[in-house]
Structure 1
């Protein structure tokens, strides 16, 4: 069982990284003792700001009982970046193809799971081998990053994966539709819906301390994600400004728009300026902290807001549901529409619409306690129904029933 991934082994600074970590543990638990797990991560040097030593150590300990080996892949950044640009993707896929040629030659039977955008172009470079099954599982697309140059490379790559006979995995209905739009036959797409494992649903032992300006009795709002414009944080600040003009009492906002880098980027500087103009306290965090999801368990959390303009899945609402954080307010962008349903598991608004987002936040803040409890219960039920371990064992049952007796018994 070979898993190629760019995030989740040496780092977990993205939702994709946390999902990959969950996938690795689910696979390690499901594999039969005589099946070897081969991890093919993009190499990160310990000196890289993206390297998460503690998270890497925990994951290594977690899967230690499963027979496995790690073969580092090189993306040409000297171990500084797990993602990089298109040149890094091309470098990575050529190195991965050479490594996989040796792996597939050495093992008469296997399953390759290549995860996310950096491996989109790997398919055309692979030579199909008898006894091997292939799957490409993208967690996002160049379309989500508005990268038209990379989109053409991605489309050609998906065509190449199809030519090899590979399956394509869809983490949401939104991603399924996107894959079809890029030329993937619907019959070759397998549903691999994003979800949480038992480990994901376990409360973190630590969480960051709240800044003094959001730690008052009024509670706080929380919004977090990568510091990129498509996450819609400016729409959130505009929505809060609208609520202020309507004389709506709004708690302070903790805005964790983060990167792995030490210095704030241009977008974070822009957010800081916009936040400073608001008539309510906003604490902006710019540096990623692996304990950030622990804030979802904070007793003074009033609402979780996900204002994305585009989103392939929507993992933060699932993490919020698992933590019992309610209400959750989200846009209906992409996969978010599948994890937050208006007045059932939270409150929703169309993407890139600050006025509608303001209305949804207002509804969340004025919801009576019994309504909040109903939303919380529905969110917990959704998380239970989207158990990721059960999903991954089902994928193994479909693609490689020889790999695990447990998987074969639970298609």
Structure 2
């Protein structure tokens, strides 16, 4: 049975009521691309994790823009209760499991009243447990699109790994598919999660046209950064490698490189500073590092990539499913980019070609890569900038990626002329 008017459902935890991670920015790009590619008759059901207006993670301006960007399409928005009373979008495994249960209940209810969806896109870990709770007919319509995986965090996430594994197996065994945002993620799915390669569809992450428009003016620079600065940004978590970067700064200086001020945006959306952020602040103070720590997420942070005073971008991650920062840097003309080879970063930052690289969790190697970047002359920066932009444009607009996805899964829903 198909509905009189076709519809697809997209479940997301970030990027609708606000944005706090690269996943949220990627989800926005997915919505924009889907809106451009799908026939106007296709209804879009959005299943976002509920955030109350009083939540520190709720961003009314972002929410307004996210909705306005889909103007002209029939939208059905059904917020998903993850058991936190709308206070946060993420949490430990019980919160993730509650998210999957609630989304499944909504989907089954809508299917009873509207007919089954043509496609269900379940984005990221909070929805990885949906498949076992769905009837077989809906499981075969499911695309599970993880943007992070428990296996990337080792033994500390063993329970989540087992839960994800069961969800993925239930999906592909019923004919559902899994999306891979990078080759690294595809390798994780076919390896530890034992997903057959034929059940995986490539959905390489990328930038949409909307990603090239700043979400507001950049935050003001501290006085010490106005003569030149490095930028490192990401979620405030040890896996982002910020400790390795703090270790690397004095090592790079000791090698003779002139190290400018570092803007370290190790951010969260919590109302109070986290223990890890306190740890970073204490290190900066105790070691007298020339670093400004930014703790609160601001969607306009990427606008700093276009600042002419930016000397370089550093991505010191120990774990990285994909990594949007290099692509955003290439789009903004920021160079050089220094990154580890963790996960998907190795697919975009190529040593000596689009930037400089070091193995993850190796401060000495990171310091050497940073020193190379800081010694790069004008001609070298121009070459790196051009190579980065070629890599970015070679991937195509993200709309092309999403169109190819729908061409595989639901070709009858693609609009004419898209």
TM-score range for the pair, normalised by the shorter chain length: over 0.9
**Aligned twin of 1:97:** 104
Matches within 5 A, 1:131-150: 133-146=141-154, 147-150=157-160
Contact 1:4 1:41 in 2 (8 A): yes
Shift of 1:145: 3.8
Equivalences for residues 260-299 of structure 1 within 5 A: 260-278=269-287, 280-299=289-308
- What do the CA deviations read for 1:200-251 (whole angstroms, capped 9, x no partner)? 1234541100012222x2x000000000000000000101021233343210
Runs of 4+ displaced beyond 4 Å: none
Question: Which stretch of structure 1 is more off in the superposition, 348-357 or 123-132?
Answer: 123-132
| 3-state SS in 2 of match to 1:337 | helix
Give the alignment of 1:44-193 within 5 angstroms: 44-105=51-112, 106-129=114-137, 133-146=141-154, 147-181=157-191, 182-193=193-204
Give the equivalent residue in structure 2 for 1:36.
43
2:220 aligned residue: 209
Task: State the TM-score, normalizing by the size of structure 2.
Answer: 0.94
Q: CA deviation at 1:270?
A: 1.0
The 8 Å contact of residues 104 and 129 in structure 1, kept in 2 or not, is answered as no
Q: Does 1:250 pair with 2:259? A: yes
Residue pairs, 1:206-355, within 5 angstroms: 206-215=217-226, 217=227, 219-278=228-287, 280-355=289-364
* Structure 2 stretches lacking a partner, 5+ long: 1-7
Supply the distance in 1 between the matched residues of 2:312 and 2:187 (Cα, whole angstroms). Answer: 30
1:205 to 1:260, Cα distance in 2 relative to 1, 3 A: closer
Find the aligned partners of 1:122 and 1:233 in 2 and give their Cα distance.
Answer: 34
Aligned residues of 1:89 and 1:119 also touching (Cα < 8 A) = yes
Offset, 1:332: 0.2
Q: Check whether the contact 1:174–1:334 (CA below 8 A) recurs between aligned residues.
A: yes
Bigger drift between 325-334 and 234-243 goes to 234-243
Cα distance between partner residues in 2 of 1:129 and 1:156: 18
**Superposition CA RMSD, Å:** 1.6
Alignment partners' CA distance in 2, 1:173 and 1:398? 18
Specify whether residues 382 and 65 from structure 1 end up closer, same or farther in structure 2 by C-alpha distance, changes over 3 A only: same
Unaligned runs of 5+ in 1: none
CA displacement at 1:103 relative to structure 2: 2.3
**Partner of residue 403 from structure 1, selected from 408, 413, 416:** 413
1:14 aligns with 2:21: yes
